């Protein structure tokens, strides 16, 4: 029978072993009863790929630029998320065409700049390193889903 340390090592989560044992999850049977809230409390990161911190930031769309402005103007009011979203949507629909075009032009300029920065970034060693990370992550995810008998969709491409 494998030890808990060996199992964690095989799963690539050795960094969590001490926290699990300290919280009473000291045998495989107790680990099998763990819940998502337990994992959150233990600080376990679950199966999400890391964003590329070196990549240029994707610019906001015209609608997002508009909604950010409206949200800032309505900040002091005690509106629920739903009420705020409804107000933003209604205001966007009734926005004069000239103002909408101004926002769309601003968003397009930001997007054009982003596309250029992204093209330059894709020539860097940092991008190649991130692509390798994504390929490894994807391979690991596929192995995990295949071992569980499910098939995931491909999401990553470099």
Judge whether 124 and 114 are in contact, CB under 8 Å.
no
CA distance 61 to 108: 8
The SS3 call for residue 77 is coil
Question: pLDDT tens-digit profile of 136-148?
Answer: 888 887 776 666 5
Claim: this prediction has a pTM higher than 0.85:
no
| Domains with residue ranges and CATH for the chain | 1-46 (1.10.150.50)
Given a contact cutoff of 8 angstroms between Cβ atoms, the answer to whether 152 and 141 are in contact is yes
| 82-130 pLDDT per residue, tens | 888 899 999 999 999 999 999 999 999 999 999 999 999 999 999 999 9
The candidate with the shortest Cα–Cα distance to 123, out of 59, 58, 55, is 55
The pLDDT tens digits for 28-77 are 888 888 877 777 778 777 667 788 999 999 999 999 999 999 989 988 88
């Amino acid at each position: 029978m494998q030890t808990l340390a060996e199992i964690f090592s095989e799963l690539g989560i050795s960094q969590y072993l001490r926290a699990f044992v300290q919280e009473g999850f000291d045998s495989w049977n107790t680990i099998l009863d763990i819940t998502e809230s337990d994992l959150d409390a233990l600080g376990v990161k679950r199966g999400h790929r890391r964003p590329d911190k070196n990549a240029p930031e994707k610019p906001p769309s015209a609608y997002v630029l508009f909604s950010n402005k409206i949200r800032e103007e309505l900040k002091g009011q005690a509106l629920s998320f739903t009420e705020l979203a409804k107000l933003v949507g209604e205001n966007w629909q009734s926005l004069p065409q000239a103002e909408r075009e101004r926002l769309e032009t601003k968003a397009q300029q930001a997007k054009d700049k982003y596309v250029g920065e992204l093209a330059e970034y894709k020539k860097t060693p940092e991008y190649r390193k991130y692509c390798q990370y994504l390929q490894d992550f994807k391979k690991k995810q596929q192995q995990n889903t295949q071992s569980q008998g499910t098939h995931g969709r491909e999401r990553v491409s470099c």
